[in-house]
Structure 1
Amino acid sequence: MKKILFLILCSFLVFQFSIAQERKSFKLHSHNDYLRKVPFWEAFGADCASIEADVILQDGELMVAHERATIKKERTLKSLYLAPIQKAKELSLVDEFGFHLMIDIKTEAYATLELLVKQLKEFEPMLYSPANQNGLKIIVSGNRPKVEDYNDYPSWILFDYQSRILNDQLPWGKIGMVSLNFRQFSVWNGEGSIVEREKEKLISFIQQVHNFGKPVRFWGTPDSQSAWKAFYDLGIDYINTDMPYEADQYLSNLDKNF
């Protein structure tokens, strides 16, 4: 029975994903994806371009949880994400990776990254590298090493830069995206329109990041149809949402009208 349900799920995802590839002028970030009923697969079915999992190092394992009190022994990074992504690849559901996996580290950066690198080596054939440009990129967020240490990590590990300080001295080759708290720019709650001066600040920052050839994401954003539309119009590269399916359906219909 489980095998039949899995095959039905795979067939549905192939259908959804093939439709998604015919359009898309937006990209979704599946925020706290691990909280969904079917982590990874729901985001993949909604064609999310960025999928986020919080990770805690505990007893020599990478557990997927926001805090230690919510850890469940069966919910590891490998079981919820790495193995399913590999399975999607083996089933030819994925040819070229149109998404990356964001790992939000909640424990000490260097020790957690040491184990992360070790575990990822098992999956290295499907990971991004100069020789595998279409591979899966891993973007490390949350607790990260010092910026000057970014280049010490393999090519398939990139970092989520979180600062308004942008200059040529940054190791841009190791930066996968730039993310900041939306509240640093605006108090907008998703109703009505963003105040013009706040919109100008957002546009200015987005352009600065784009000048370095990198995408932008904001967290702590309103999560509604009016917000998704506003962020679409602003040119925010990855629209942060806790409702990937609903956001995908709404923005896809907007796309059809453009």
Structure 2
Amino acid sequence: MNAFSKLSISLFALLPWAVSAQHNSENPLSRAHSHNDYMQAAPFTLAHEHQFGSVEADVHFRNDTLYVAHDSRDISADRTFDKLYLQQIIKQISKNQGSIYKDKRRVMTLLIDLKTTYKATLPALVKALAPHEALLAPKGSVKVVLSGNTPPPAEFEQYPAFIFFDGRPGVSYTSGQAARLGMISQDFHKYSQWNGKGIPVEKDRKALVDAISQAHAMGKPFRFWASPDNINAWKVLMNLGADYINTDHVAELGTFLSGRKNAEYQSREFYKPYQPTYKNNDALGKVKNIILLIGDGMGLAQIHSGLTANRGELNLGKFLNIGFSKTASSDNYITDSAAGATAFATGNKTRNRAIGVDSNLVAVPSIIREVKATGRKSALISAGDITDATPAAFYAHRPERSQMDEIATDYLKEPVDVLIGGGYSHFAKTKTADSLKARGFGVSDNWNDLASMKAPFVLLDDKHTVSMLKGRGDFLKDSFQKALQSLQSNQKGFFMMAEGAQVDYGGHANIVPYVVTEMLDFDKLVGEALRFADSNGETLVIVTADHETGGLTLLDGNLKTGYVDGQFSTGDHTGIMVPVFAYGPHSLDFRGVYENTEIYRKMRAILK
């Protein structure tokens, strides 16, 4: 079974996971335990490559030799404990100059399940290990813990200090005996019959937590054996506080745990969304201004990740009129940003990578031309490169989105009153900046000039279009307010497109904190647009996405604390529909399910 194919999606609030004092909480992979490791295609090696904190080997003693096998009938002459484990451990410690891992703080547990009587097997094991005592805990970085047919606790002290034992909950150990325990383990089914879907019932959860807590009270890490083995179960076990996650799916668990840093986000700051008045929200009257906000790569999971991080509230959650846009391009089930934005900007389905052209790669007019024909002003804003696919579709006409220099020159043919983003180098290299200056446009690559610039102007500062995690700050909000200041005095109104470009970047990078912080920043922009719409009652706000990016799944979250845990299925776009939110007069027009090109047609009809 592939664990990823069996994942169960749930949002649950269990106890925060705890790790005993002897467990390395800094590296999530220290929690990984390779159950029946010898049954893997590459015993020890696969678990070690995935940086596991623990491996398990079943050992039989026969004819003066220690063999590794599940049952005695499976014993094979070439599968000895020395060959599969001891020599591999010696090799890795030598390679890492005295440590099992390059990170010398880490320890690997070698859990040896004695399948034959300890009276014969344990002396043989001690004899095999004794020459390598310096490599073993407490002196070295490999901790040998015995399970299965172990001696009674009263005999623990008879064995060398490098031999530890696997204890059981509910057993009364003396302090000396407890000192020889390497972990506490128990059969999961002793407490619960949970199958790994959803969460355990409360009675079972309490029993599981109590068992773990007993071990932690002794300062020992805890492991369940025979526990459910899928992504949802791993996450539940972590939340319960289990220190080792038992698995037969070494590669899958290794990937899951190694990605914890990029999978989890904990919000530290929260904001109160704007409360709309719903002035003219369902009216069909005059629309003076249209504000189109595009969250590039923003699907429902991205929206809900932001909502979770902000304790269950978003500006997007205030909309009443909501539809869904089908995003396929003319030549592919899964669109890219070029074809997706071309649909909004021109009403035409086109091929992936094409900008402002139809499926035959023939240039088609954008909505900016329609806007100008009505006497309205216009603005384009992006938290990314302004020659990138989404903003470019509103002014450029190229068969290939990577032609960014040529895209910059196209701006001379269809300029807007306010252009803010990144990508100045393309305007400078092609002399487009010089041509604009000659026409009377203000042109700058310095964010600090924003306040003093007067329309028409272009401000493209790459240093200020970094991610929110790297300090972009209020770029979108400030750009939006500057555009409003520059456009709203026009009696005929305006059209503004503002893009939260980097929700998409975070999805491509498969980094949940990147996605969430960009989503929250974009939602704050949505709040500013709603506030402005309420100030006049003649502004239509449309919020949508060109596509979803990353195939984001939310595995866990906490609406009280702002914690988010996500998993991605791809580093590219997906083909799912994306939501369309609308507010203000004619917002009812955007209900339903329709092709992305309909967004253009609806806006065009409203402009007239």
TM-score normalised by length of structure 2: 0.37
Aligned: 1:39 with 2:8: no
Q: Distance in 1 between matches of 2:115 and 2:185?
A: 16
1:107 pairs with 112, 116, 139, which one? 116
1:215 pairs with 217, 221, 228, which one? 221
Deviations for 1:142-193, whole angstroms, at most 9, x for unmatched residues? 1100110011111110000134234555711100000000011111000121
After TM superposition, the structure 1 = structure 2 runs for residues 161-176 of structure 1, keeping only pairs within 5 Å, are 161-166=167-172, 168=174, 171-176=177-182
Secondary structure of 1:139 counterpart: strand
After TM superposition, the structure 1 = structure 2 runs for residues 13-162 of structure 1, keeping only pairs within 5 Å, are 23-24=27-28, 27-92=31-96, 94-95=101-102, 96=104, 97-129=106-138, 132=139, 134-162=140-168
Q: Percent identity?
A: 37
Q: Distance in 2 between matches of 1:62 and 1:25?
A: 29
Residue of structure 1 in register with 2:248 after alignment: 242
Q: Distance in 2 between matches of 1:23 and 1:218?
A: 20
Secondary structure of 1:232 counterpart: helix
Q: Is the 8 A contact 1:101 1:138 kept in 2?
A: yes
Q: Distance in 2 between matches of 1:78 and 1:109?
A: 18
Gaps in structure 1 of 5+ consecutive residues: 1-20
Secondary structure of 1:137 counterpart: strand
Residue of structure 2 in register with 1:226 after alignment: 232
Residue of structure 2 in register with 1:10 after alignment: none
Deviations for 1:178-234, whole angstroms, at most 9, x for unmatched residues? 000001111100012110111011111211110110010000111001100100111
Q: Distance in 1 between matches of 2:29 and 2:69?
A: 31
Deviations for 1:92-115, whole angstroms, at most 9, x for unmatched residues? 163535211111000001210010
Secondary structure of 1:144 counterpart: coil
RMSD (Å) for aligned C-alpha atoms: 1.9
Deviations for 1:28-69, whole angstroms, at most 9, x for unmatched residues? 110000001111010011111110000000000000001111
Amino acid at match of 1:57: F
CA pair 170-230 structure 1, distance change in 2 beyond 3 A: farther
Secondary structure of 2:111 counterpart: strand
| Residue 255 (structure 1) shift | 3.7
After TM superposition, the structure 1 = structure 2 runs for residues 187-202 of structure 1, keeping only pairs within 5 Å, are 187-202=193-208
| Residue 25 (structure 1) shift | 7.1
Q: Distance in 2 between matches of 1:100 and 1:165?
A: 22
Amino acid at match of 1:160: D
Q: Is the 8 A contact 1:28 1:240 kept in 2?
A: yes
Amino acid at match of 1:87: K
Would you tell me which structure has more helix in proportion to its own residues?
A: 1
1:206 pairs with 205, 208, 212, which one? 212
Q: Distance in 1 between matches of 2:203 and 2:70?
A: 34
CA pair 218-23 structure 1, distance change in 2 beyond 3 A: closer
Q: Distance in 1 between matches of 2:29 and 2:36?
A: 23
Aligned length: 235
CA pair 22-182 structure 1, distance change in 2 beyond 3 A: closer
Deviations for 1:65-101, whole angstroms, at most 9, x for unmatched residues? 0111111101111100000110011111635352111
Q: Distance in 1 between matches of 2:29 and 2:114?
A: 29
Residue of structure 1 in register with 2:535 after alignment: none
Gaps in structure 2 of 5+ consecutive residues: 1-24, 266-608
Q: Is the 8 A contact 1:32 1:242 kept in 2?
A: yes
CA pair 167-241 structure 1, distance change in 2 beyond 3 A: same
Q: Distance in 1 between matches of 2:214 and 2:147?
A: 20
TM-score normalised by length of structure 1: 0.86
CA pair 167-138 structure 1, distance change in 2 beyond 3 A: closer
Secondary structure of 1:171 counterpart: helix
1:177 pairs with 176, 183, 186, which one? 183
